[in-house]
């Protein structure tokens, strides 16, 4: 059964791979972008998730064009790494506002229509770092850990209405976000991954489409690692 899917940050990177995977199985897929447009074959809506009015407007447009959002993938995210002693209030707050408060805004807006439909799927893209922590990433790790509490609270609140909320925690994935790392740092990270390689964004997408499918209907409040074993034990 085709669903209406919203993937934030679906214009590139992991989000694009997720959006393409849903589109390939016949779903109606909307992706957000921040002014540069979306790939031709996807329905793009301009939306900065730090702006509550923009989030509301994006949902309004999607509802008009594709129908109510049945599957929400909160994927958009940023990093702004630096050591704690150097981390400004602004650096901390901006990452939390995008990665965590942004996800709250999306989930809240999506939930009203999902409640009415008595069906919904929410998938939050966290990170291996959310559970293990990361030096220089106090803001990012805190935001990604926060997604677990957010998803699990939603799972408890909305479970009786057939709405699931799960978290996918990727490890080291080949996108613009990781392209900025030095070759030495990439080699160091790769060495600590049991599977010994960096993943392709499509490998995250397959976990997300599965979590939105009927095959995973009894799974909620879960944290699914897609990290080559990097976060084992956390």
Q: Give the binding site for ligand NDP (CB under 6 A).
A: 8-9, 11-15, 32-34, 47-50, 75-78, 98, 125, 127, 170, 172-173, 175-178
If the CB atoms of residues 162 and 190 are measured against ligand NDP, the closer one turns out to be: 190
Q: Give 162: exposed, middle or buried? Use CB within 10 Å, 0-12, 13-18, 19+.
A: middle
Catalytic residue chosen out of the listed positions 22, 43, 92, 140:
140
Q: Which is nearer to ligand NDP, 2 or 92 (CB)?
A: 92
CB of 38 to ligand NDP, least distance (A): 9
Q: Is 224 helix (H, G, I), strand (E, B) or coil?
A: strand
Nearer to ligand NDP, 48 or 203 (CB): 48
Q: To the nearest whole angstrom, how small is the minimum distance from the Cβ of residue 140 to ligand NDP?
A: 7
Q: What is the DSSP string of 70-125?
A: SEEEE---------GGG--HHHHHHHHIIIIIHHHHHHHHHHHHHHHHT-EEEEEE
CA distance 121 to 147: 15
Active site residue 104: no
Active site residues: 140
């Amino acid at each position: 059964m085709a669903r209406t899917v919203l993937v934030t940050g679906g214009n590139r990177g992991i989000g694009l791979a997720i959006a393409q995977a849903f589109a390939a199985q016949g779903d109606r897929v909307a992706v957000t972008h921040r002014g540069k447009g979306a790939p031709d074959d996807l329905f793009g809506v301009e939306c900065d998730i730090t702006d509550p009015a923009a989030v509301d407007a994006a949902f309004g447009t999607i509802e008009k064009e594709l129908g109510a959002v049945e599957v929400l993938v909160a994927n958009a995210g940023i990093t702004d790494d630096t050591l704690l002693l150097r981390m400004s209030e602004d650096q901390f707050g901006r990452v939390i506002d995008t990665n965590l408060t942004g996800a709250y805004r999306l989930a809240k807006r999506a939930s009203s229509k999902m409640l009415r439909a008595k069906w919904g799927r929410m998938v939050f893209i966290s990170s291996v770092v959310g559970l293990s922590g990361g030096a220089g990433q106090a803001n990012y790790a805190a935001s990604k850990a926060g997604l677990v509490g957010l998803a699990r609270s939603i799972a408890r609140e909305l479970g009786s209405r057939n709405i699931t909320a799960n978290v996918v925690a990727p490890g080291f994935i080949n996108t613009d976000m990781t392209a900025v790392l030095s070759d030495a740092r990439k080699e160091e990270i790769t060495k600590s991954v049991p599977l010994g390689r960096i993943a392709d964004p499509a490998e995250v997408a397959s976990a997300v489409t599965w979590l939105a499918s009927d095959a995973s209907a009894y799974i909620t409040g879960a944290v699914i690692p897609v990290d080559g074993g990097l976060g084992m034990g956390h």
